[in-house]
Every structure is written in C-alpha cells, then in structure tokens.
Structure 1
C-alpha cells in the first residue's frame, strides 16, 4: 500500500523499504484548457547535488538533452512533449547503489518549456504528482500530490531524494520558482 505524503513531509526510504535498490520516480500532470493558443510542454529534470548544495559539474544535471548520468545512477526515460494520457508523463530512474559518494541529494524538478513566450505557468497545470515505485516489485511506495496553486511559477522542485546518516530519504518539497529552467540551473550552480 502506497504512503501519501503532504508538502514538507519526509520518509526514510532505507527503513521503510530496506530492499529498495532502484526506484522509478514517476511524474505526472494535466494541463487546463485555455485560449492561449499554445500546447504545454513540461520537462522533468534531476539535479544531482553535492554537499555544498550545488551540482559539481554539468554532467550532474540529467534532463531531456542529457538522459543518463555517466555513473548510470540516474536516468531520464525521455521527453513527453504532450503530457496526454493517464499515469506518469515522465520518469526518472535512480539506482541507489550507483549514486556517487559525492552526491548528497537528487532534486527532481519540472519546468514549462518556453513558458514566458507562451504565457504559461503552473497555475494552468492540475493534478501534478510525484510517485516513487520500487523497480524490482513495480509497487508504488509513496505518492505526493502537489495541491498548491502556483499562479506565476514556471519551475517546480517536486521532491528531493537525499542521504542522511547512511540512509536515503524522500522529501515532498513542492517549491516554485519564476524564471523556468534557467532559474533552477542558477539555483543549483550551473551557468546558463
């Protein structure tokens, strides 16, 4: 049975699921219909962050143009440009045993492609969620549904998976940013 988290809640993955070696982070959303004239293209990304709260190099940023970290610890399964249909719209796979020791946290984010030009924001997105699935059993371990109204934000940190005292933990973040992907990149120390 899946655990439902609210914003700000954390769960110790190592204690609650001791056999968890590889996880699928499923991300989903629906876009509200409006007369802006443009389709929505939401993009998931993973920022692999060091102890200083920043990525160590460009290779630690996994997204639609860099689908796999060289360590094979984090993999993006590909860009879904429409978000249509049921279930996960995009997925990021994390192999906990392969995550380099220099990585303390993996921030899972979603941005709206060309949001300013298309006059789009997360206020026009509904039913957004992040879920963690055990890759071995294909069972959903937890789910976090983002229920806030992000009326101006064009980028969101959905969740973070981080190390704490030798354990992997999941944090339901739900934090919004204006400025899209470029803003997130700067926040995590990448040059844009």
Structure 2
C-alpha cells in the first residue's frame, strides 16, 4: 500500500517484502486548467510545471537534472511537459525523474527534488497536482510506493515553487524525507543556491 506523505515525514526505501528499493521513479502529475469562455465554450489554459533534482555530495552542489539537462549518472529526466493533462488525469505523470541508486556516483549523498511553476500559476489553481514515488517507467506505473498531494495542501496555496523532499544516504542506506516547503524562490538557480541549502 502506498504511503501518503506528510511534511517532515521520513521513510526507508523498502518494499513490503523488505527488499530495498534501488530503482524507481519520482513523478509530477497535473492537469491543464479548463475555463468557460464566451457562449459556453470551454477554453484550456496550459500549465507548465517543472520537476527538477539537485545533486549534492554532502552540502556541496554537484549537478542538476531538469528539462534542460536531462541526464546524469543514475538519473534521467523524461522531458519538459508544457501543458498538463487535458480532459482529466490520464493516469501517468507529466514529468518523471528516473533514479537508479546503484548507478549514482559514489560521492553523492543527497538528491533534492523541487517543483516550480514556469507559467507562474499558483499550485492551488492547478488540477490534481501531485507527486509520487513508484516502480516502473515514465510510460508504465507498476507499483506506487509513496504519494504527496500538492493541490489539496493549503500550505501551497498562492505559491508557485516548493522543495518537495530529498533522498539522502544515512549509514550507507538511502532514505526519503518529505520536506514539503513552499518558497518564494521560483527560478531553479535560486531554488538550488538559496532555498535548498537550508535542508541539506
């Protein structure tokens, strides 16, 4: 059964069988905004959220994977989605970062995930915005490990950027911490240089 994450929660990356979760996806899901236009016609407003991950060796910034740089050792981004799901949730995430922990560079100890609204639409106005950790691929969800509901969390009302959480290595074992902190820094470079270091 998937874990519904709450702010500050820490979880071990283990399946119900006790087996370690070493390869998985972190996906962001959201919908385009449907609005009623003149004469009852529906209009669709595109929503462009960006899921990114900062890569750190202890507190030292090493790299970043996002829509503009889609791969690093053990990490791959699915590409930029500039619209969101039109006509309802299609069951797949719009942007996905695939993680293979065993393929990370050995000095890497923290991966910090951030979500930002490129079109500056506030999170509470975006249909079914959510994050999940799951086994599978960007085009196939096999087993959901944990979920984080962004759209229904009042913490993110009026906000357009957040630090989702981080994967961190502790005593040789990888764990996940749900940070869930909105931030005024909406540009990726500002998120990584100003906001994220507070949580390393």
User: Shorter-chain-normalised TM-score: which range?
Assistant: 0.7 to 0.9
Provide the alpha-carbon RMSD of the alignment.
Answer: 2.6
Per the alignment, residue 67 of structure 1 pairs with 70
Residues matched between the structures, number: 178
Per the alignment, residue 183 of structure 2 pairs with 177
Q: Partners of 2:165 and 2:128 in 1: how far apart?
A: 15
Query: What are the ranges of 5 or more consecutive residues in structure 2 without an aligned counterpart?
Result: 37-43
Cα deviation for residue 40 of structure 1 reads 2.0
Cα deviation for residue 121 of structure 1 reads 2.3
User: Are 2:43 and 1:43 equivalent residues in the alignment?
Assistant: no
1:1-192 pair list within 5 angstroms: 1-14=1-14, 17-30=18-31, 32-33=33-34, 39-52=46-59, 54-56=60-62, 60-69=63-72, 71=73, 73-84=74-85, 85-87=89-91, 88-115=93-120, 120-135=121-136, 138-146=142-150, 147-149=152-154, 150-181=156-187, 182-187=189-194, 188=196
Q: Is the CA contact (8 Å cut-off) linking 1:153 and 1:179 kept in structure 2? A: no
Larger RCO: 1 or 2 (CA < 8 Å, sep 6+): 1
Cα deviation for residue 134 of structure 1 reads 2.2
TM-score (norm 1): 0.80
Runs of 4+ with deviation above 6 angstroms: none
Cα deviation for residue 171 of structure 1 reads 1.5
Query: What are the ranges of 5 or more consecutive residues in structure 1 without an aligned counterpart?
Result: none
